[in-house]
């Protein structure tokens, strides 16, 4: 059976509160960052998960290291306490950067296609006008 692990980190960064969703599944790691605006309460975060989880756009998966042995519960508790004030991990930043780059490439491609369509329309309009000028002669 496949194990899926998901964590949510809520943090404050430059005037806004963000939620960082990290998903590990079959040695693949993906991340999604969601702006909350004002500091969300636990109930607001839970409501967001119930209503918008299926709309989250995770970054492309990157290779994750597999965990070899289970972690002591006390150590896990200390890590959870430590991570409450922690910033997003570098692994998540890398995944977000990869997602941003893909979005840039897609936008660049869309802009190029739009520019080509506009150029083609102008050319066709110019040809049509040229043909109309010569029809009356």
Per-residue confidence (pLDDT) for residue 89, from 0 to 100: 66
Structural domains of the chain, count:
1
Which segments of the chain does DSSP mark as H helices, in order?
Answer: 42-52, 73-83, 90-135
> Which secondary structure element, helix H or strand E, spans residue 5, and what is its range?
strand 4-13
pTM of the model: 0.48
**Tens of pLDDT, residues 112-133:** 999 999 999 999 999 999 888 8
Residue ranges making up the domain that contains 87:
4-135
pLDDT at residue 84, as a whole number: 73
Q: How confident is the model at residue 88 (pLDDT cuts 50, 70, 90)?
A: low
CA 9 to CA 83: how far, in whole Å? 8
């Amino acid at each position: 059976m496949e194990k899926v692990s998901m964590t949510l980190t809520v943090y404050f960064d430059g005037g806004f509160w963000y939620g960082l969703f990290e998903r590990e599944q079959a040695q693949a790691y993906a991340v999604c960052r969601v702006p909350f605006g004002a500091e969300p309460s636990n109930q607001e975060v839970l409501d967001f998960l119930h209503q918008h989880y299926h709309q989250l756009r995770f970054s492309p998966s990157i290779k994750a290291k597999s965990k070899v042995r289970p972690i002591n519960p006390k150590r896990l508790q200390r890590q959870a306490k430590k991570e409450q004030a922690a910033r997003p991990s570098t692994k998540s930043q890398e995944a977000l950067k990869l997602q941003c780059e893909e979005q840039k490439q897609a936008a660049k491609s869309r802009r190029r296609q739009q520019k080509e369509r506009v150029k083609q329309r102008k050319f066709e309009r110019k040809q049509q006008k040229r043909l109309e000028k010569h029809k009356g002669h």
